[in-house]
Structure 1
Amino acid sequence: MYEKRKVWLAVSAASATLLGSTAVQADAAQDLLQAEQHYSMVAPFAGAGEGEGEGEGSGAVDLRVNDAAYLAQLGLIRGHLYVGKKLYDQGHLGMAKTHMKHPEDELYAALVPAFEARGVDGFAEQLSALANAVNNAQGDDAVNQAYTDLVAAIDAAEQVQQKSVKSVLMSLSSMLLTAGEEYDIGVQQGSIVNVHEFQDAYGFTAIAKARINQLSAQQAEANAAALDEVAEILAQLPELWPTITPEGVIEGDSSTLYGAAARIELATLN
């Protein structure tokens, strides 16, 4: 995590340098200091653990009260499931199975106390239903219905429209940081060395891009400037996944994910 934190700060510092005037740079430096103070609290999953790169179940923050981290953790689950469903739809059943989550999975288990504290239902039953439908080859109709039911249950647990826009945007920053780390694990010197992590990075990024559209019209109107800036940042992300089942050389660069994460976090501080 320390190395990625240095990368994040380096990108942020470069952005500040490009701003131009001394006065603007001074303001940016203050923003960077504030962003650094936020970093370890709202992006706790990026490289904090071992194994998959998400730092699953790291416990770095209290998901019962930290909305940004709570939404980020839910976003990681969404990302796994999203790419798993996409792989299933493309006929890659074996790969799809590796992304299906279960209630005993660390990512979900870490959220259970938060569900209880927040007075929301979890979605263990729906997770199991989707995993069973895919793993037991129950057919497209069963898989599609299980996925629809699960997404609805996650929506209900997230309650995005009841969260502050700042928390929502900070969750996007955290997810993109994690996507960057997953991409680094998956792609080395242009070669795919871990396709699962490469696919996870795709899923996390796709969910981060989509979450901004979950905000209500009232939230969007009250935070129009910040949301416009973030939407532009997301729109400028290059296509790092020409396919989610790649062969041959991949020319993507994870630094664009880290840069977007830093810029989004800075946008929340303005």
Structure 2
Amino acid sequence: MINLSRFSSMFLIPILMIVSSCSQPSTNQVEDSANKPSDTPEVATEDPEKLDVDYLTTLALMKGHLMVAQELIQAGKPEEAEPHIGHPVEELYGDIEEQLVTRKITNFKSILNQFHDLVKTAPKSDKIKTEYNSSMTAIDQAIAAIPETKRQSPEFILQVINRLLETAKAEYQAAVAKGKIVELIEYQDSRGFVMFGEQLYQLIAPMMSQNHPEKHQIITTTLTELKTAWPSVNAPKSLVMTPEKVSELVTKIKENSQL
């Protein structure tokens, strides 16, 4: 007769060993699980500060284009003004279109297009000034979506100014060849960007003068010198400033923007 007690012990011990080995993952299994990439995709989040800088820089470029366009219209050159009025829609508007929705700003592409169409079809119309003002007001309203505290922050505004000046530098370099202005539109673009960059600086000039007097003095003096590269909206016959000098001045402003 079989000893059931002994048989049960012999039979159960291997089973318990199997169960025990299945219930605890091995060290290698734990490590493999830890190293295995998650199936859940990571959601990329953009830096809010960078979004604001990009947004305001794009709007600032629009204003620079329109400022130089207005100069050309006043000089009786609407045909030269036309591409500068078109660029805000054709080259820039798409960069902020989603941001306008997020920031609850009314779409103003139609306002820009209306101004552009008028200059193309009726360059001597009495409505041109009104359309120009409407376009600039629409851009200003979009700029107002940036909190006022940030718009008055030297650290923030200087980032935008430096982006504008870098773009102006690149446009100026593209405009010059063999010591002459050969690309008029790029020359005028760069002028407009520097003009509006200086306007932006006026927003923070009082605070810079009070809190960073030495840097303020260097930046204002350098901006004044930089502007001499564009004596007029009309390209000079002889180059006033080399691209290398423009680059040097832009770099100097950037270096003194580190607060």
- Give TM-score scaled by structure 2 length: 0.70
| CA shift for structure 1 position 191 | 1.6
| CA shift for structure 1 position 102 | 6.4
Q: Is the 8 A contact 2:229 2:241 kept in 1?
A: yes
| CA shift for structure 1 position 103 | 7.0
Q: Is the 8 A contact 1:79 1:200 kept in 2?
A: yes
Which residue matches 2:161?
A: 172
What is the alpha-carbon distance in structure 1 between the residues aligned to residue 130 and residue 243 of structure 2?
34
| Greater relative contact order, per chain length (Cα 8 Å cut-off, separation 6+) | 1
Moved over 4 A (4+): 61-65, 219-224, 226-229
Which residue matches 1:193?
A: 182
Q: 1:125 to 1:89 in 2, by over 3 A?
A: same
1:149 corresponds to 2:138? no
1:140-182 C-alpha deviation (Å, 9 max, x unpaired): 5311111112112211211363423212111111111111111
2:255 to 256, 260, 266: 266
What is the alpha-carbon distance in structure 1 between the residues aligned to residue 48 and residue 121 of structure 2?
33
Q: 1:90 to 1:138 in 2, by over 3 A?
A: closer
The alignment-based identity, stated in percent, is 25
Q: How does 1:1-270 map to 2 (within 5 A)?
A: 65-101=50-86, 104-137=89-122, 139-159=124-144, 161-163=148-150, 164-215=153-204, 223=211, 225=213, 227-246=216-235, 248-270=237-259
Q: Which has the higher helix share?
A: 2
Q: 1:258 to 1:170 in 2, by over 3 A?
A: farther
What is the alpha-carbon distance in structure 2 between the residues aligned to residue 215 and residue 156 of structure 1?
19
| CA shift for structure 1 position 125 | 2.6
| CA shift for structure 1 position 255 | 3.0
Aligned partner of residue 60 in structure 2, secondary structure: helix
Q: Count residues in correspondence.
A: 209
1:213-260 C-alpha deviation (Å, 9 max, x unpaired): 24596x567755354543233123251123323363223222343233
| RMSD of equivalent CA atoms | 2.8
For structure 2, list consecutive stretches of 5 or more residues without a partner in the other structure: 1-45
What is the alpha-carbon distance in structure 1 between the residues aligned to residue 114 and residue 161 of structure 2?
28
Q: 1:231 to 1:108 in 2, by over 3 A?
A: same
For structure 1, list consecutive stretches of 5 or more residues without a partner in the other structure: 1-60
Rg (Cα) greater in structure? 2
- Give TM-score scaled by structure 1 length: 0.67
What is the alpha-carbon distance in structure 1 between the residues aligned to residue 48 and residue 117 of structure 2?
28
